[in-house]
Amino acid sequence: MIFYNLIKVGEKFLAKKNILRPRYESILLFSKVNQININEYFINKKKKISKTKVNIFLKKIALRGTGKPLSKIIGKKEFYSREFFVNTKTLDPRPETELLIDLIKNFKGKTVTPLKILDLGTGTGCIIISLFLELRKKINVSCDGIDISNNALRVAKKNAIHHHVANKINLYKSNWFINIKKKFDIIVSNPPYIKKSEIKFLPLEVKNFDPEVSLCGGYDGLNSFRRIAHGAKNFLKKDGVIYVEIGNYQSEKVRKIFENKKFVTLDVVKDLSNMERVIIFKK
């Protein structure tokens, strides 16, 4: 079978499954199977493909037809212009989470170097790895990432190796602050913040293929914020700052949780969709 005909098979199948961009996704999966640039397809679309690669491609197309996201099929997702390994044990990096990186890059707090940063619930490690890679350009930085999931930590360590920072970032298991022994200038987190009752209404790609532990924030979606607000003061330096990503319409409640623990709200920042997405607190 030639490239062009195989792409058409994939496109028709995905269209029947109501995938929004069937041709693009068919070409993308084809390029990943053959380890080629997408543009090479257009140059060589009459080239023949082996039976083995045809079967691999069709299996991936079938997976996409079940609703499995491209990132979980390919095993990678872009975040802050870098590729990160992902799997069904990790939350896919989201574009809106890149706002955390932008904000922390502009950190103006008083501190001696190294600037010490803790990422709570690191998942793929995309936040802490991106922060290290961005901040080291201008300042000496020390980064720790923790997660309760051994599976997630394995992915984070794989990503640290991939980005050549495995010996620069400390990744270890901890249920929130239990295994943390030092204080930090910055604590950052994109915690679970979906209400338990709302999980079943999430898009198929999310509820079936992202781990529930990374999504569910309890009955009201706020459990993680309570845990962070309760424990963070003991692990922040004087004038230390917390950056937390929040869900839609959670701003007022999250502010109240932290302010009740004597934190001061420095800023509430909106994302590109004009939704309040990140709150910054000071000790």
Residue 97 belongs to a domain:
yes
- Do 131 and 59 share a structural domain? no
- Do 198 and 98 share a structural domain? yes
Q: How far apart are the first and last CA of the chain?
A: 64
pLDDT band at residue 202, thresholds of 50, 70 and 90?
very high
- Do 164 and 130 share a structural domain? yes
DSSP secondary structure, 114-160, as one string: SEEEEEES-TTSHHHHHHHHHHTTTS-EEEEEEES-HHHHHHHHHHH
Question: Looking at the 3D structure of the chain, how many domains does it have?
Answer: 2
What is the residue-averaged pLDDT of the chain? 94
Over residues 158-178, mean pLDDT: 97
Q: In terms of residue numbers, what domain contains 25?
A: 3-66
Residue 72 belongs to a domain:
no
- Do 28 and 95 share a structural domain? no
Per-residue pLDDT at 156 exceeds 90: yes
- Do 106 and 55 share a structural domain? no
Among 29, 30, 28, 16, which Cα is nearest to 66's?
A: 16
pLDDT in tens, 204-223: 889 999 999 999 999 999 99
- CB–CB of 220/197 below 8 Å? no
pTM for the model: 0.93
CATH number of domain containing 181: 3.40.50.150
Per-residue pLDDT at 257 exceeds 90: yes
Residue 17 belongs to a domain:
yes
DSSP character at residue 39: H
pLDDT band at residue 3, thresholds of 50, 70 and 90?
confident
pLDDT in tens, 14-60: 999 999 899 999 999 998 888 887 777 777 778 888 999 999 999 99
